[in-house]
């Protein structure tokens, strides 16, 4: 079932992280009484991201254990009472905060795994340290950046199938202004110049068509497919369809399965696989819809047969290898 819901993903300077940091230090210095602890527990239960961010601060502080004893002592060990004076506590607190923020920065932002996958003429596969497997189709480029806190992939263009490994870190895929968050799943993403399509084979994903409007998010279940129309970084409307989960990632069998898709989308997809443009030169033709299966090893055979499937169309090959599709007069 497709559902649209509100969801605010907080970044490093978010209100959630600020609250988590405040709670962390208040609990660490023992300043919470019973009522304060009850208030903290209520805050922790209020939303999953509260517990997640608090846990990450706890893990970041745990990085102190990896520092040499002398370094830890210099930062947090009290001075003798006669020597420290009234200025000790602010300096110690400042040192502790600075060390925590350093650990937090390393924890959240320092890459621990980085890859660039460039699939040109043929498909390529990449298996990551967490067990995630990425199968990239021809003419696909993506980059992977893992830190201790999160897993991010940027799909610049092309098509890829993702089988996400289990890990406490969130997995997020980015493509121009859109964002896909995994919830333990297998899914396929097509990134074309004018379209982004996300299809789920198993599990679920949270799709944010425009990250600048993070409160608008779609949860996609197995068989769900979301197609986002876009123009550069400008995001247009989103269409949701439901297909058979087994058909997700059909490109791995050299197939394109069309399910009442527009001719404009089919042309954009075939342009990617042909390596030469298929242009729909009439708006009326672009809006036509068709269903069927295309052998991606022979896209030109499909284009030659298109007037049989859609009698109102005319297909005209061009000397440069491109193909024009127009309406029959």
Structure confidence at residue 8 (pLDDT):
35
pTM above 0.75, yes or no: no
Structure confidence at residue 325 (pLDDT):
97
Structure confidence at residue 151 (pLDDT):
92
Give backbone dihedrals phi and psi of 116, rounded to 5 degrees, phi first: -125, 120
Q: Dihedral sign, CA of 139, 176, 167, 185?
A: negative
Structure confidence at residue 112 (pLDDT):
81
Structural domains in the chain, sorted by start: 10-109 (no CATH), 111-248 (2.60.120.1440), 254-329 (3.55.50.30)
**Which residue numbers in the chain have pLDDT < 70?**
1-15, 17-18, 29, 31, 56-57, 59-109, 232-234
Structure confidence at residue 49 (pLDDT):
72
Structure confidence at residue 22 (pLDDT):
73
Structure confidence at residue 177 (pLDDT):
82
Structure confidence at residue 159 (pLDDT):
97
- The two tokens of residue 20 are 């988590």
Structure confidence at residue 233 (pLDDT):
62
Structure confidence at residue 321 (pLDDT):
95
Structure confidence at residue 126 (pLDDT):
96
Side-chain-side CA neighbours of residue 47 (13 Å): 13
């Amino acid at each position: 079932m497709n559902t649209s819901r509100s969801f605010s993903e907080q970044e490093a300077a978010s209100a959630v992280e600020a609250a988590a940091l405040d709670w962390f230090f208040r609990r660490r210095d023992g300043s919470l009484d019973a009522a304060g602890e009850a208030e903290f527990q209520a805050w922790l239960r209020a939303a999953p991201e509260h517990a997640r961010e608090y846990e990450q601060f706890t893990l970041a502080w745990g990085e102190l254990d990896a520092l040499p004893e002398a370094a830890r002592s210099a930062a947090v060990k009290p001075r003798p009472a006669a020597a420290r004076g009234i200025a000790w506590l602010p300096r110690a607190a400042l040192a502790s905060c600075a060390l925590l923020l350093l650990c937090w920065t390393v924890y959240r932002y320092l890459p621990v795994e980085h890859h660039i996958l460039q699939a040109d003429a043929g498909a390529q596969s990449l298996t990551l340290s967490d067990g995630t497997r990425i199968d990239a189709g021809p003419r696909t480029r993506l980059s992977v950046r893992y830190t201790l806190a999160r897993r991010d992939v940027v799909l610049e263009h092309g098509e890829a199938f993702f089988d996400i490994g289990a890990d406490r870190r969130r997995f997020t895929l980015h493509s121009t202004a859109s964002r896909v968050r995994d919830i333990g799943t297998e899914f396929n993403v097509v990134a074309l110049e004018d379209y982004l399509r996300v299809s789920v084979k198993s599990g679920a994903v949270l799709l944010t068509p425009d990250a600048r409007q993070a409160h608008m998010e779609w949860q996609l279940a197995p068989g769900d497919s979301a197609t986002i129309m876009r123009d550069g970084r400008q995001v247009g409307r989103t269409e949701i369809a439901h297909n058979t989960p087994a058909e997700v990632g059909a490109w791995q069998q050299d197939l394109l399965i069309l399910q009442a898709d527009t001719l404009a989308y089919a042309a954009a997809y075939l342009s990617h696989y042909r390596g030469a443009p298929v242009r729909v030169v009439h708006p009326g033709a672009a809006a036509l819809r068709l269903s069927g299966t295309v052998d991606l090893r022979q896209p030109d055979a499909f284009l030659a047969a298109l007037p049989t499937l859609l009698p109102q169309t005319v297909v005209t090959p061009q000397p440069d290898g491109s193909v024009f599709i127009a309406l029959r007069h």
